[in-house]
Amino acid sequence: MCDKEKPDARKFVSNLSGPMPLRRKIYLFFRNNAEKIRKGKKCCGHAGQPGC
């Protein structure tokens, strides 16, 4: 999946600019980052979502 990919600023911005309500983007951003921290990985496993 995306565990082997390096973090990319371009993908980060494109994930946040997708067509989605702002409230949902913020929720997914924090949820996905918390999951990355909890698992100790570079990716949360939800490629394409904000925060992944």
25: in domain: yes
Is residue 36 in a domain? yes
Asked if the structure places residue 5 within a domain, the reply is no
Read off the DSSP letter of residue 18. Answer: S
In a domain, 34, yes or no: yes
Quick one: DSSP state of residue 6?
Answer: P
Q: How many domains does the chain have?
A: 1
Supply the pTM of this predicted model. 0.67
Residue 1 domain flag: no
Q: Is residue 35 part of a domain?
A: yes
pLDDT tens digits for range 9-30? 777 777 777 788 889 888 988 9
Task: Please tell me the predicted confidence (pLDDT) of residue 20.
Answer: 84
Query: Which domain covers residue 35, as residue numbers?
Result: 11-52
Say if CB 50 and CB 15 are below 8 A apart.
yes
pLDDT score of 50: 79
In a domain, residue 3? The reply is no
